[in-house]
Every structure is written in structure tokens, then in C-alpha cells.
Amino acid sequence: MFSGKKKAITFSYDDGVTQDKRLIDIFNKYGLKCTFNLNSELCGVENTLVRNGVTVSHNRIRKEDVKYIYDGHEVAAHTLTHPCLPKIERDDEVIRQVEQDRINLSEIVGYEVCGMAYPCGGQNNDDRTADLIRQHTGVKYARALATNGSFRLQKNLYRFEGTVYHHDEWDKLFELGEKFLALDTDESAIFYIWGHAYEFDIFPERWQQFEEFCQMMSGRKDIFYGTNKEVLLVG
């Protein structure tokens, strides 16, 4: 149950890029909540990426701006420097990448950071890394790369799967949204959307389309709108 409601919607966006500011304006406009996963040692780094043949800005939010930009939402860990954790042989380095990032971010935002998203594509998590994080860090949940198209609750919060990844599964976004709105259930259900804000710049028309999606999903009396922490841990 989510504050007495059966259904909950939450968003998760990675890397702490400057496009997050535009995304936050949309979320705030419609009363939606998001968790933003940051690499504390990459704050302020400027870069570009080529995705789908398009060059886009990948500039990180400056450390001194993190607290006020993400105010009202949740900041979570994404490792210090964005390595693929299963490829790190030393257990202590896996732990350091996660726990020191969590500690750094907690100091920046002024509250205890307790969530994370695994960085990198491909096989970016496994049982070993999940167990290390569970046993040796203050992280309470960790989102994996995989999506499952489902609204069901999951037992393993350290390899949590989202419902839909907006970039590669754009066509599914509205379809799943309409399905979730129509869902009449006696069991708890979570609609979990994730991505990277810079991906909207690859197909700029998607900024407006995503705002239309957010408007469609907002203002429902039977839905709880929360951060990942509020939905996965508190709800």
C-alpha cells in the first residue's frame, strides 16, 4: 500500500546531466516525483556523446548546484566514476565505488542517500555485486538495467527491474501508461520509468511528447506519486 493507494508511479534518471533541469520543470509542473542517480566524482564534468548518430551534450551538474536543483526529488548513487561493477575484480573497489559515492552525495544534499542505479550498459550487475552492496554499503535498493514491462512488486530490491526504459522502449511508454491508468487491482502495483535526460535531445520532439505523457499520468486520485525511496521502501 502506498499511503492507502494500491498503485504508484515513480521515475529514475541517471548521470546527473544539465538536461535534468528541464526534466525537473516538467515533473514539478505535473506533481510527479523522480530519483536522480549521480556520480559524485564526475560532477561538473563537460562532455558530449554520440547516440543514434546524434551528438548531444552530456554536461554534469556542478556539485555546488546539486542540492537546490534536485530539491523536492531524491538523489541516489550511481558509483563514483561510472564503471561496470561486475568487471571490477576486487571486492573492496566495488564497495568503494558505491559506498563512497553514497557518502559523498549524502554530504552534498544533507540527507542520507540510500538508493542507487547500476551504471553502464550490458551486464551491469550480477549476484556478486548485489551481495557486496547489500552487505557492505548503506544502499537499500539498486535498479538494474533490465526492464520487464510489469507492474508487479519484486522481492529482490538489489537487482530491481524497471517497467520501461523510455529511450529504447519509447513505443511502449504510452501503451503501458494507458494500461496502468486502467488497471483495477487489489494488489500493489508500481509503474517504474527510467532513462537519461540527455536522450530527449536525440529526438527533440520527445520532450513535448514526454510532457504529454506526464500530464496523462498525473492528478489521479488512485495513484501515489513518489520517489524511488518513497515507493520501494516506504510504500
pLDDT in tens, 45-66: 999 999 999 999 999 999 999 9
Look at the pTM and tell me if it is higher than 0.75.
yes
What topology does CATH give the domain 7-234?
TIM Barrel (3.20.20)
Q: What pLDDT digit, counting tens, does each position of 95-147 carry?
A: 999 999 999 999 999 999 999 999 998 889 999 999 999 999 999 999 999 99
- Look at residue 1 in the predicted model and tell me its pLDDT: 74
- Look at residue 189 in the predicted model and tell me its pLDDT: 97
Residue 49 near residue 56 (C-beta atoms within 8 A): yes
DSSP notation for 182-206: H---SS-EEEEEEE-GGGGGTSTHH
DSSP three-state, residue 119: coil
Residue 144 near residue 118 (C-beta atoms within 8 A): yes
Lowest mean pLDDT among 14-18, 33-37, 145-149: 145-149
Domain borders along the chain are 7-234
- Look at residue 123 in the predicted model and tell me its pLDDT: 86
Q: Dig out the grid coordinates for 115 from the structure.
A: 538508493
Mean pLDDT, residues 16-31: 98
| CA distance between the termini of the chain | 6
